[in-house]
A and B are shown apart, each in its own frame.
Chain A
Amino acid sequence: MSDRSLTQTDLSDPALYDAGIPHQVFAEIRKQPGLSWNPLQGEDGFWAVTRFEDIVEVSRHPETFSSATGHIQIYTVPDDCLEARASMIDMDPPNHSRLRRLVNPGFIPKNLRLFEPIVRQRASALLDDLVAEGGGDWVEKIAKPIPISIICDMLGVPEEDRNYMIELTDHLVAGTANKPLDPNAYGNTTPLRFLPFESPAAFALDNYARDLGNKRRAEPQDDLVTKLINAEVDGEKLTEAEFTNFFRLLIFAGNETTRSAMSNLVIQMVNNPEIFASIKDNPDLIDGAVEEIVRVASPILYFRRTATCDTVLSGTPVKKGEKVVMWYASGNFDEARFAAPLDYDVTRPKMPHIGYGGGGVHTCLGAGLARIELRILLEEILKRDMKISLAEPPEYVHSNFVNGIEKLVVRLG
C-alpha cells in the first residue's frame, strides 16, 4: 500500500463539485505517473483513472474491468443489493448484449430522426415562453422539460405524468432534490440499501413502471414499454425486476444527462458570445459545437469498474477486486488528447471525446438522441437571436457522480 501514489484530494467528496468540475485537481493527478490511489474512510479506496487513453483502455476491456462485479459507483454495495438493482449498465457481455439488443432498434439514426420535429416543436414553444417572460430558471423552463418529454414519448409515459418523472429522477441523485427524502416516502417499505441511489424515489419509479407495464400488457401501444414487456431474450420474457430496472435506467439516463448538457450550453454561450455568433453565420459548425458541449459538460463525472484479475494499467499493478474509477470529467480535459482543453473550441478536429463514455459496449445508448436534442435546441436559440446573460452564478448539484446544474437563472435581452 505504501508504494501507491495517492490523490491529494478525495475525489469522492461531493463538495469538490459544488462549483463544477475541479479542473486543477484533475490536472495535478494526470501529471502523476501511472494511476493514483484514492483512499476512502471506512471502506476500500479506488484507483483514479484520469487520462484519456487509460479510460479508453478500461472501457474496451469489460472482461478485465467488469461492470457486473462490484458496483458501478464508488461505494461498496453488498452483492444481494447489487443484484436487486441491476440494469443493463451493471452487466458485462453477454448478459449486457442481450438486453441492449432489445432497446437498440429504437435508437438507430433513422428512428431517432423521427423525433426531430417534436424536439423542435417543444424547444420552440419553451423558448418562446422564456423570451416572453424575459428570462427565468433555464433548468426549470428548458433543460428539464425537453429531454424528459422526449424519453417519455419514446417509452410511452403519458403527458400528465412527466412532472412526476422529473420529481422522481431529481430525487434519485443525492442532493438534487430540495431536501432529503423520508425513507418511507412514496409508501416505500424496501430497505434503502436495495434501492438504486438508496432512494425511495427508486421504489416509486419501480411501482410506476409496473403499473404502466400492466396497462400496456392489457392494451399494447407502439412504444418502448410495450416492446420491453413483450420482449423475449433467448425465449424468456424479462422478469418484473429486469423490466422495472430497465425503465428506471432509461428514464434517468434520458433525462438527467441531457439536462446537464443543455445547461452547460447556456454557460458556454454566455462565456463565448463571439463563437456562437460565428456558428450562426456558419451552420456547418453546429455539429462541432454540440460535440464540444458534451465534452465540456461531461454530464456523468465517472463510472466505476472492478478488476476481475490481477492486471496492469498505465504501468500500475491493479489487483483482482480493486475498484477502478474512470473520471470522464478528467479525461475529457486531458492535455495529451485535447489542445487547450479548457477552451470551448467548435473547430477542433473531429476526434471522439468521452462524454458518452470511453467507447466499448457501454457507450451511451442515447448519444444519437442527445445530439439531436442539443443541435435543435441550439438552432432554435440562434434563430431567435437570444442575448443571454446569467442573473446569478449557476447552482451545481451536490454530487460526485453527475455534473448536474440545479438552477441557472438567465436574463434575456
Chain B
Amino acid sequence: MKFRIDIRRKEGLSDPEGMTTHKALHNLGYTDVTSAHFGRTIYLEIEAADPAAAAAEVETMCRQLLANPVIEDYDIGVVG
C-alpha cells in the first residue's frame, strides 16, 4: 500500500517560510492572497495484508516520529 502524509505547522504558530512567501506574493501584486503555509509531504510504501492495520501503523508512525504533535498537524491519505 502507498500512503501520502501531509504535515503542516499548527495554525497560529510561527511559520516563517509561509509568512515570507506570503509577503513575496504581495510584492508581486497578488494582494488577494490572505495566507501562505508550508508543509512537508512524505510518501510511504508498506507491505500490508490488512489495510486497516497498515493505516493504524502509519498513524502511530506520525505521532512517534514523522510529525511533531507539539507544533504540527498531519493528514494521512492512501494513494494506491
Chain B associates with chain A: no
Binding site for A on B (CB under 8 A): none
